[in-house]
């Protein structure tokens, strides 16, 4: 491995041997994991001879303020300790001095491998003391087995993660400054996220360009053996009729008219048994897709819940227990023990007829990493019903989903008896029309007992009478129905993850973060669970497609993912991979700096007159998107938000208030800024006075300022003191003006919301703990009584 560089700083680089240790005796081993939750579970398994500490994620990373990579020195990275991790590292160093062995037990993937390497590096642990352990499930037998069989740090896996991190850094830190110059400051580009934005933007272009066309279908109501059933038109003469064949109403009406007076007879009856096979157990992508479709969970929420189930849940008498195997995997493989346990349980609770003679095996997709099993319960004894009371509502829903999919994957196929009846209608004109009806009867449920899916129903399946070729039939009615072709649907979280996976873009550990980042950056937004590109997202995508075509090319991005996999497998050199990427990338950067359109300088003229100076307004791009501005700038500084519909631009009047400007006594107006709404003088730019919009509630800390609503750069609302930065008091919950806390007399209560419990009233004093249900108003909505 190419030697990496750690930023030299006596405050940041902590060596275990430099930490003074006064206590006597040594522990058998120190186990280092990423999360405190996992550490808590492991402590109960390992006993007093082991100390378990959490690194709380990564301890080192590339610096935020600079590139941190030297392309001229084989892409040598310069790592530094992450801000705020000094205390964590010092605690790890103290514990490492007391331990005979240090077990680096970060997650069993690339990111976990990088954490393990960096912990070893920042603590300057001798090689003889380092032991890497992989927990694929957090159960006592699995943990003890891993501790007893440690391995060495995986150089190839670490170099694969390092190559990915450097690739992402090069793309982000090289392209983003160009966007700052050409569009506005604060924008960013991502190697994988930009491809996801392009997919959403391209789909939107397809939808907008789509021209809907009419088509007709023809169906007949037929009776035979005293029972009615439906038949659809499949042939007209020698012409096969598919969904879009009949493209005009006249033809449809002609078919209906001729069919109604035709002679009808059955030409064939085909009966066959059809199997529907169970689905494989979950991998990361399919878990996210199904949780989105069935439970309406975001990918981020699904992974957060899965992480909790993996790291361990307190089951009361059973103690802390990891309930599922590692949740970042693209392998459908199950261990022999897991297959045996599933089969035994299926036979026990459902019967031997639901058990296939040979265990079901599933083929992995191309390039799947087989280091981990599929996502499954760690033990069949923890049935959903048994542990329901130990989980919150959402944890239970996800666990039950994983449980059912795991068991169903080892069950028998469902069996249907399918009957297809072909019918001939001979018109008086001698034209022959072919109709077909299909009936399906479930003979054996198989895995459907546990797992129903959206595609389990045949829309044309129906109950049919016992029909033969000689059965006389009668046409009761024939009708046509007009339809309109539909554009491709916008992506949901489920369908976007599926598309990313199918095209080889990203990996199991990245899907959730991709979807989160593109929304946080305001490049896409979600409406009714569908993704829409924002105006900003379309602009940035167009600029990247024009100037960095390979960066947003799906095949190129998938190829890079394949090369990262090959680095992990020891088949490629990470430095060579980066060199092959960076050489042409440099040339592309140079061209973009010169040729990318400068959106900042672009002005779209309008025929709208400026209300201040009567010159025409122009549309420009600013830090908060498009806005209307006076063409006479800088002599006239009038600006306004606007709306546009069917090409017509309408200025949005700034909402005025009764408050007067403390400087010039002009009315104050409400404006939207980067960090939320604020009051500004209407006489701007002559008067530039601004004020925060407050809640009218005094700050409980400084007693001077008032609490004001603000928002983070990701759009999340919070409330902070107007005396910031002198006073740094801030809370997430909405403060309620009125009565103090009845328990501790804190000057106000807050409105707290969670998906699990809804709205409740709470005291912001953490030592108090007062909580009450929110009252119900006349409209049936929860209201804060003290607001």
If one counts every other C-beta atom within 10 angstroms of the C-beta of residue 70, the result is 12
How far, rounded to the nearest angstrom, does the alpha carbon of residue 18 sit from its chain's CA centroid? Answer: 43
**Do the bridges between strand 130-132 and strand 99-104 make them parallel or antiparallel, or are there none, so unpaired?**
parallel
How many whole angstroms separate alpha carbon 553 and alpha carbon 551? 6
326 is catalytic: yes
Q: Mapping DSSP to helix (H, G, I), strand (E, B) and coil, where does residue 548 land?
A: coil
**Residues in contact with 651: Cβ distance below 8 Å, sequence separation at least 6, in sequence order:** 608, 617, 628, 640, 641, 642
CB 282 within 8 A of CB 293: no
Q: Which phi and psi angles does 144 have, rounded to 5°? A: -65, -40
How many whole angstroms separate alpha carbon 422 and alpha carbon 434? 7
Q: Which phi and psi angles does 385 have, rounded to 5°? A: -65, -35
Angle, alpha carbons 644-650-651 (nearest 5°) = 120
**Do the bridges between strand 473-484 and strand 214-224 make them parallel or antiparallel, or are there none, so unpaired?**
antiparallel
CB 346 within 8 A of CB 544: no
Three-state SS for 497-537 is HHHHHHCCCCCCCCHHHHHHHHHHCCCEEEECCEEEECHHH
What element of type H or E holds 346? helix 336-349
Residue 33 token pair? 């994991």
Residue 479 token pair? 């009708």
List residues bridging with 78 in a β-sheet.
Answer: 5
How many whole angstroms separate alpha carbon 222 and alpha carbon 265? 11
CB 608 within 8 A of CB 617: yes
Q: How many residues does the chain have?
A: 787
How far, rounded to the nearest angstrom, does the alpha carbon of residue 492 sit from its chain's CA centroid? Answer: 10
Helices vs strands, H then E, count in the chain: 17, 36
CB 769 within 8 A of CB 763: yes
If one counts every other C-beta atom within 10 angstroms of the C-beta of residue 534, the result is 19
If one counts every other C-beta atom within 10 angstroms of the C-beta of residue 319, the result is 12
Angle, alpha carbons 757-761-766 (nearest 5°) = 100
What element of type H or E holds 201? helix 193-209
How many whole angstroms separate alpha carbon 625 and alpha carbon 352? 64
* CA-closest candidate to residue 18, choices 29, 30, 10, 26: 10
DSSP one-letter code for 324: B
How many whole angstroms separate alpha carbon 582 and alpha carbon 592? 15
Residue 312 token pair? 């361990």
* CA-closest candidate to residue 448, choices 416, 402, 417, 418: 416
Exactly one of 326, 406, 435, 719 is catalytic; name it: 326
CB 479 within 8 A of CB 260: no
Where in 64-176 does DSSP place strands (E)?
A: 69-70, 76-81, 99-104, 130-132
Mind telling me the catalytic residues? Answer: 326
């Amino acid at each position: 491995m190419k030697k990496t560089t750690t930023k030299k700083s006596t405050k940041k680089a902590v060596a275990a041997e430099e930490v003074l240790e006064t206590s006597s005796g040594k522990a058998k081993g120190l186990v280092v994991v990423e999360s405190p939750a996992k550490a808590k579970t492991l402590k109960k398994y390992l006993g007093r001879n082991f100390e378990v500490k959490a690194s709380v994620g990564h301890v080192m990373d590339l610096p935020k303020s600079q590139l941190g990579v030297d392309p001229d020195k084989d892409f040598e990275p310069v790592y530094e300790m992450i801000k705020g991790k000094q205390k964590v590292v010092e605690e790890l160093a103290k514990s490492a001095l007391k331990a005979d062995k240090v077990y680096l037990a970060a997650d069993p993937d690339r990111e976990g491998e990088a954490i393990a390497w960096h912990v070893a590096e920042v603590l300057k642990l001798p090689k003889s003391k380092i032991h890497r352990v992989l927990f694929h499930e957090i159960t006592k037998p699995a943990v003890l087995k891993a501790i007893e069989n440690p391995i060495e740090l995986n150089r190839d896996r670490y170099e694969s993660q390092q190559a990915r991190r450097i690739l992402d850094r090069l793309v982000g830190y090289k392209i983003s400054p160009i966007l700052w110059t050409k569009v506005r400051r604060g924008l960013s580009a991502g190697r994988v996220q930009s491809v996801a934005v392009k997919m959403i933007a391209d789909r939107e272009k397809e939808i907008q360009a789509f021209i809907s066309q009419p088509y007709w279908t023809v169906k007949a109501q037929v009776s035979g053996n005293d029972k009615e059933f439906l038949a659809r038109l499949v042939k007209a003469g020698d012409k096969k009729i598919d969904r879009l064949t009949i493209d005009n109403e006249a033809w449809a009406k002609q078919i209906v008219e001729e069919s109604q007076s035709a002679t009808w007879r059955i030409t064939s009856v085909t009966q066959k048994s059809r199997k529907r096979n169970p689905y494989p157990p979950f991998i990361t992508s399919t878990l996210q897709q199904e949780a989105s479709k069935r439970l309406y969970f975001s990918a981020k929420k699904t992974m957060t819940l899965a992480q909790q189930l993996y790291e361990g849940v307190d089951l009361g008498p059973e103690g802390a227990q990891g309930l599922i195997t590692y949740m970042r995997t693209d392998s459908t493989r199950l261990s022999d023990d897991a297959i045996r346990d599933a089969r035994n349980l299926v036979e026990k609770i459902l019967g031997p007829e639901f058990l296939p003679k040979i265990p079901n095996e599933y083929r992995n997709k191309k390039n799947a990493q087989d280091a981990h099993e599929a996502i499954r319960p760690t033990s069949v004894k923890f049935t959903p019903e048994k542990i329901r009371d130990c989980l919150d509502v959402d944890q239970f829903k996800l666990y039950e989903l994983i449980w059912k999919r795991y068991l169903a994957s080892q069950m028998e196929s469902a069996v249907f008896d399918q009957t297809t009846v072909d019918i001939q209608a001979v018109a008086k004109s001698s034209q022959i029309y072919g109709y077909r009806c299909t009936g399906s009867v479930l003979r054996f449920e198989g895995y459907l007992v546990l797992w129903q899916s959206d595609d389990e129903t045949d829309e044309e399946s129906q109950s049919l009478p016992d029909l033969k070729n000689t059965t006389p039939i009668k046409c009761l009615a024939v009708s046509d129905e007009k339809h309109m072709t539909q554009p491709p649907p916008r992506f949901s979280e489920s369908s976007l993850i599926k598309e990313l996976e199918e095209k080889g873009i990203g990996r199991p550990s990245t899907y959730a973060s991709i979807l989160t980042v593109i929304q946080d950056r305001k490049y896409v937004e979600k409406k009714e669970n569908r993704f829409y590109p924002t105006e900003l997202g379309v602009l940035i995508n167009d600029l990247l497609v024009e100037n960095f075509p390979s960066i947003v090319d799906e095949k190129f991005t998938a190829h890079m993912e394949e090369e990262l996999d090959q680095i992990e497998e020891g088949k490629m050199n990470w430095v060579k991979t980066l060199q092959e990427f960076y050489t042409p990338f440099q040339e592309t950067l140079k061209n973009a700096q010169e040729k990318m359109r400068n959106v900042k300088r672009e002005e779209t003229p309008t025929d709208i007159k400026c209300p201040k100076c009567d010159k025409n307004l122009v549309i420009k791009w600013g830090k908060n998107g498009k806005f209307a501005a006076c063409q006479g700038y800088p002599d006239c500084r009038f600006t306004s938000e606007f709306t546009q519909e069917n090409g017509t631009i309408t200025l949005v009047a700034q909402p005025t208030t009764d408050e007067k400007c403390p400087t010039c006594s002009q009315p104050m107006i409400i404006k939207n800024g980067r960090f939320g709404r604020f009051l500004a003088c209407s006489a701007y730019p002559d008067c530039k006075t601004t004020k925060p919009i407050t809640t009218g509630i005094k700050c409980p800390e400084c007693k001077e300022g008032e609490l004001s609503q603000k928002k983070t750069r990701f759009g999340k609302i919070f409330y902070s003191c107007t005396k910031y930065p002198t006073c740094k008091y801030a809370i997430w919950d909405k403060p309620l003006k009125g009565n103090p806390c009845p328990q501790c007399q804190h000057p106000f209560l807050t409105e707290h919301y969670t998906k699990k419990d809804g709205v409740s009233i709470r005291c912001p004093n953490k030592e108090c703990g007062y909580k009450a249900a929110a009252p119900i108003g006349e409209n049936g909505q929860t209201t804060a009584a003290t607001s």
